[in-house]
Amino acid sequence: MNTILLKRIFLCIASIGAGTLLIAQNLVPNYSFDTLTDCPSDVGYQGPLYAPPWDGPTAGTPDIFNVCATNPIVGVPNNFAGAQEPLTGDGYGGIICHLPAYECREYMMAQLIEPLAGGQWYHVSFYVNLGENFNCGIEKLGAYFSQSAPYGWYVGVMNVTPQIESNQGFVSDEIGWTLISGCFQAQGGEQFITLGAFHSDADTPLDPNCSGGKTYYYLENISVITTDISDNLPLELGDPVTACPPYVIDPDLSGYYYTWQDGSHGSTFEVTESGMYVLTISDGCNYGVDSIEVTIAGNYPPVDLGPDEAVICYGDTYFISLDPTLSTYVWQDGSTGPEFTITSPGLYSVTLDDGCLSTTDDIMISFFDPPSSFTLGPDDFICPGEVIEYFFDPDLGQFLWQDNSTSSDYTISEGGTYQLVISHMCGSLSDEIEITALEPPVVEIGPDTMTLCNGMVVHLEIDPQSGEILWQDGTTTTDYQIEETGLYSVTVSNTCGIATDTMEVIVDFPPFVSLGPDTILCPGESITLYAETQNAFYSWQDNSTADSLVVSSAGTYSITATNDCGIAKDTVVIMATAALIPVAFGPDVNICPGEQIILYATNPNANYLWQDASTLDSFIVTNPGTYTLIEYNICSMTTDTMIVIINGDPPQIDLPSAFTLCQGDTIILDAAINGVNYLWSDNSQNQQLIIDTPGTYSLTVSNACGTDTDTTIITDGGPAPLVDLGSDVQLCR
């Protein structure tokens, strides 16, 4: 960005130049910015300008340029915005209408010589030129009329609607001055004119041919005059005319806005084609329309027969057809038609003369034979590293292979469909060959060793395109089925090589495990549980993985066997038995008539067998006899026998009549009678009584048969005798 633009980073400019009509008073004072208070010395300032009464109504700073400027940046014709001669006088104004960085506008405002009259039509015009250093043209430049000065401290778009606005597309002329004009009917009291761009950036398209996004316009000759609306502007384009090109239509009028039938706005129009041409002129309010018919002679293109030389095939014709709407054609044989048929070789020419231009063209015709036949050969195979080469005579014609190659020589190194077309103007011949890329066979029927589960079938399939197939058993099928143990192999061969693969197949079965029936362990005994299967992975209940497990305690034991063919499980319950307590009935027994005794088993978890083959855990004895119990389990057996005698007499007891008890000694009295109740004199009821004190002791025994009592007297025997031989004595020899 140049230094001038940096100085006005907050500012914007807009300009409208006023032109004058030939009639009526121009209400714009200092309309060409030539009356100055001082020569410009710098770019404009916000506020009154060097050319009163022109002012900048916003924070934007419009500029005044003049040949008397003391600073070249505001000089004429060269200044910071570009270079431009004034339309009239020595100076002009200038405004910014667009900047790329932010929305910025500058405006120029002046108070009119007198307020506008309500209901009166006014013609407004001004001239603009696009500064070449800020060369992005825009479409809308306008003039806004207001009763009061539209002052405001901002640099953006003035939020008003201009009464006059340009409508001729992008205003992008950097050389000449562009007239912007129009008419409007005043409301009354408008006394300020403001020139600039009144649309936001979003509603302001830029000329696509520009760069940089900056827009600056010079302003000249602003005019506001009273006018009447009519369609009687003088315009006469003349009678129809015939002329050689180019013909220029020149209305020879000035001070009007031109619009030709093609939308152009030049003051003249150059005609190169016959037709009706229409011009509309306008002074912004009034207009005039006229047309002229122009016939262009000598506008025909030079006659053209095509190439200088042409070749046709024997038996063919060469047909030439020219535009029949043009003037008379004269051929070399004197004929004059627009069409000519050639059937023999030679030089042919034609001349076209339309009164403005005479042209001649010729063509040499030759004859040619059809192409010769050729062949690419039969379809074939190609192995890796091999090539197939073709060499043709290049004079046969134009060569076109399927890959758009045009060489007469061609090399094939891979499979595909290949086609060659040999052609010239008299025809074409083609041939096609299918080349199959053949690799040395590669065969793989599986791993070196494969395990099949019993009942499974493996289907092997060999691509039939890979070559000739031979299995180990002599079969040649592409499909092969395996379901038995064995060594299998296949050989595949083709033109490019031989390949063989072998696979050993082992048929396996799902695992089977049996830990046997539930078992009882005897004390100190252990057993070994076996998986009883092979080729499997084992997992016991304790996560061990051996093929056997030693068991020495009770519990539930399980195994899981797994292989590629399945899973097997089994469980066994191991129970432990305790050692049997020996059966002990005690001594044989005498019982009284009517008395009974009960014999009990010793081991609660054993099997019982009494002498009478009964199996209860007790036996009631009421009769004399020999009673036997066998207790047994899987581990051991114990037995005992008791003899029971029926005694009809009451019990009899016979204690010693007297005893002598030495002091410090004890004696034991024992009744030695079975099957009775005991009651000693001290009320004890044991079979024996321990005595360590002299006295009288009695025992009463009783059973179902009766009672008997006996007494013994224990006397004091005094202390035991004491013998004392004295101290040890040593005798001499």
Euclidean distance between CA atoms 535 and 510, whole angstroms? 9
Cα 225 to Cα 16, 283, 400, 539, distances in angstroms: 15, 11, 77, 115
pLDDT-based confidence at 290, cuts 50/70/90? confident
Q: Write down the CATH superfamily of domain 1-229.
A: Galactose-binding domain-like (2.60.120.260)
Per-residue burial over 317-344, b = 16 or more CB atoms within 10 Å of its CB, e = otherwise: ebebebeeeebebbeeeeeeeeebebee
Which CATH architecture is the domain 449-508 placed in?
Sandwich (2.60)
Backbone angles phi, psi at 346, to 5 degrees: 150, -175
- pLDDT, position 446: 84
Which residues face 271 on adjacent strands? 247
Q: What is the pLDDT of residue 336?
A: 86
Q: How confident is the model at residue 16 (pLDDT cuts 50, 70, 90)?
A: very low
Give residue 11's pLDDT: 32
Q: What is the pLDDT of residues 417-473, one digit of tens each?
A: 999 999 887 778 899 999 888 888 888 888 989 888 888 888 888 888 888 899 989
Can you tell me the mean pLDDT for 502-516? 86
Q: Which of 214-223, 392-401, 562-571, 684-693 has the highest mean pLDDT?
A: 214-223
> Quick one: pLDDT at residue 12?
31
Could you tell me what percent of the chain has a pLDDT over 70? 94
Condensed to tens digits (0 to 9), the pLDDT of residues 592-635 reads: 777 788 988 888 878 889 989 888 888 998 888 899 989 888 78
Pick the CATH number of 519-576 from 2.60.40.10, 2.40.160.100, 2.60.200.20, 3.30.565.10: 2.60.40.10
pLDDT of 20 above 80: no
Mean pLDDT, rounded, of the chain: 86
Checking if the pLDDT of 708 tops 90, the result is no
Do domains 1-229 and 658-716 share one topology? The answer is no
- 283, pLDDT greater than 80: no
> What pLDDT, on a 0 to 100 scale, did the predictor assign at position 149?
95
Looking at per-residue pLDDT, the higher value among 39 and 46 belongs to 39
For residue 703, is pLDDT > 80? no
Angstrom CA distances, 221 to 121, 192, 423, 505, 682, stand at: 20, 16, 73, 108, 164
Give the confidence band of 230 by pLDDT, cuts at 50, 70, 90: low
Can you give the pLDDT at residue 75?
95
Point out the least confidently predicted range of 22-26, 407-411, 717-721. 22-26
Instruction: Look at residue 105 in the predicted model and tell me its pLDDT.
Output: 96
Ordered by start, the domain boundaries in the chain are 1-229, 241-296, 309-368, 380-437, 449-508, 519-576, 589-644, 658-716
pLDDT at 27 exceeding the cut of 90: yes
Which pLDDT does position 25 carry in this prediction? Answer: 92
Determine the Cα angle at 226 with ends 220 and 229, to 5°.
110
User: Between residues 592 and 274, which one has the greater pLDDT?
Assistant: 274
Winning range, highest mean pLDDT, from 122-131, 363-372, 524-533: 122-131
Would you place residue 405 in the very low, low, confident or very high pLDDT band (cuts 50, 70, 90)?
A: very high
Q: In which band, very low, low, confident or very high, does the pLDDT at 73 lie, cut at 50, 70 and 90?
A: very high
Of the candidates 462, 454, 527, the residue with the CA atom closest to the CA atom of residue 484: 454
Residue 327 clears pLDDT 80, i.e. is over it: no
CATH fold, domain 309-368, is Immunoglobulin-like (2.60.40)
| Of 435, 420, 311, 312, residue with least CA distance to 373 | 420
Which range in 47-61, 214-228, 552-566, 606-620 is most confidently predicted, on average pLDDT? 214-228
Q: What is the mean pLDDT of residues 226-252?
A: 82
388 neighbors 411 (Cβ within 8 angstroms): yes
Q: In this model, does residue 507 exceed pLDDT 70? A: yes
Tally of CA atoms within 13 A in the half-sphere of 22 that contains its CB: 5
Q: DSSP letter at 472?
A: T
Residue 624: asked if its preceding bond is cis (omega within 30°), the reply is: no
Alpha-carbon distance of 577 to 631, in angstroms, equals 14
Say if strands 427-437 and 192-196 run parallel, antiparallel, or are unpaired: unpaired
pLDDT of residue 231: 63
Mean pLDDT value across residues 30-42: 94
Share of the chain above pLDDT 90, in %: 34
- Tens-digit pLDDT profile for residues 631-671: 888 788 889 898 888 876 677 888 888 878 888 888 888 87
Give yes or no for residue 134 having a pLDDT over 90.
Answer: yes
Residue 14, pLDDT score: 27
The CATH superfamily label for domain 658-716 reads Immunoglobulins (2.60.40.10)
Q: Residue 47: pLDDT band by 50, 70, 90 thresholds?
A: low
